[in-house]
Amino acid sequence: MTEDIRKIGVLGCGLMGSGIAEVCARQGFATVVREVDDALLERGMSRIRSSLEKAQSRGKISEADAAQTLARMIATTDVADLAGCDLVIEAVTENKDVKAQIYRDVENVVGAQTILASNTSSLCITELAATTSRPDRFVGLHFFNPVPVMKLVEVIRGLTTTADTFARAHRFCLTLGKEPVAAADRAGFIVNRLLVPYLLDAIRAHEEGAGSIADIDRAMTLGCGYPMGPFTLLDFVGLDTTYWIANIMFDEFREARFAPPALLKRMVLAGKLGRKSGSGFYEYPAK
């Protein structure tokens, strides 16, 4: 635990929020996780319980650690329960207005020193910070999916983030057992700026006849040692998420390599979003 950050609030208990809440509680932080309704909260908490069971079955944590992790968590639908949090990490839907509203609600209940962080994958940190009354105590903390497994966190300093806020957020990531890197407040930060053009290029390569989806995936896993080929990763990240991030980067840089291919757009319009919808570049039969 860091000297000044003891209690964490996590806004949103979706794929990213649940993972962030889990790693915070696993590292010993009192963690309050907030969702908008009971059904979404229960879905998120059941994801956390499954992940803890998996970690246990892989010998990563003991049964007692898993039980203590859950005991350190408060799952709530009431923003008021975030009172007393030293750091609040927002992982809600990628919509600026929704985020601005939740920051206002949180700022009504937390203290003046509380740091607000966003797990946004592509929105501008400086712009999000400007919607709050504490742009100096606002920072980007971008985690990777699956959060309990991926070591990286990009720590993003907006134009108004103070050196002290950045340093405290960076130290917090180390305490979580993660490997933080400093990333500039530019669309896509570091990872998505390099990863997304590669994923978009894989779609273009396939459409141009370079190889089948399965063969391109096999080529990149066996030829480069990547854990997943680009189409498996696209389905894993979500085609809608990739499309969204690509558009934001294209808006910022106006470079063709960030432009989403027409096929990606049409798959999103057809509801083929990857694993989450059961269908993407591959099919995922319901279990």
Catalytic residues: 121, 142, 154, 192
Does residue 199 belong to the site contacting ligand CAA (CB under 6 A)? Answer: no
Instruction: Work out how close the CB of 154 gets to ligand CAA at its nearest, in angstroms, rounded to a whole number.
Output: 9
CA 229-234-235 angle, 5° bins = 105
Q: How far apart are CA 104 and CA 269, in angstroms?
A: 33
Which x/- pattern, by CB under 6 A, does the window 60-79 give for ligand CAA?
A: x-------------------
Q: How far apart are CA 13 and CA 40, in angstroms?
A: 7
Q: Tokens for 117?
A: 């962080």
Q: Which of residues 157-186 bind ligand CAA (CB under 6 A)?
A: none
DSSP-assigned beta bridge partners for residue 283: 279
User: How far, rounded to the nearest angstrom, does the alpha carbon of residue 243 sit from its chain's CA centroid?
Assistant: 16
Nearer to ligand CAA, 148 or 158 (CB): 148
Q: How far apart are CA 127 and CA 277, in angstroms?
A: 31
Does residue 222 belong to the site contacting ligand CAA (CB under 6 A)? Answer: no
Does residue 188 belong to the site contacting ligand CAA (CB under 6 A)? Answer: no
Does residue 106 belong to the site contacting ligand CAA (CB under 6 A)? Answer: no
Q: Which of residues 9-28 bind ligand CAA (CB under 6 A)?
A: none
Instruction: Work out how close the CB of 116 gets to ligand CAA at its nearest, in angstroms, rounded to a whole number.
Output: 19
Nearer to ligand CAA, 32 or 199 (CB): 199
Candidates 71, 80, 149, 159; binder of ligand CAA (CB under 6 A) is: 149
Nearer to ligand CAA, 86 or 189 (CB): 189
In sequence order, the 6+-apart residues with CB closer than 8 A to the CB of 40 are 13, 14
Closest CA to 34 of 94, 98, 106, 84: 106
DSSP secondary structure code for residue 114 in this structure:
P
Candidates 209, 223, 225, 227; binder of ligand CAA (CB under 6 A) is: 227
Does residue 221 belong to the site contacting ligand CAA (CB under 6 A)? Answer: no
Instruction: Work out how close the CB of 241 gets to ligand CAA at its nearest, in angstroms, rounded to a whole number.
Output: 6
274's torsion region: left (phi>0), alpha (psi -120 to 50) or beta? left
Q: Is 20 in contact with 147 (CB distance < 8 Å)?
A: yes
User: How far, rounded to the nearest angstrom, does the alpha carbon of residue 138 sit from its chain's CA centroid?
Assistant: 17
Instruction: Work out how close the CB of 218 gets to ligand CAA at its nearest, in angstroms, rounded to a whole number.
Output: 14
User: Pseudo-torsion of CA 231, 272, 89, 178, nearest 10°?
Assistant: -20
Nearer to ligand CAA, 60 or 134 (CB): 60
Nearer to ligand CAA, 93 or 108 (CB): 93
Q: Tokens for 8?
A: 């964490």
Candidates 12, 148, 180, 261; binder of ligand CAA (CB under 6 A) is: 148
* Positions in the binding site for ligand CAA (CB under 6 A): 51, 54-55, 58, 60, 121, 144-146, 148-150, 192, 227-228, 233, 237, 241
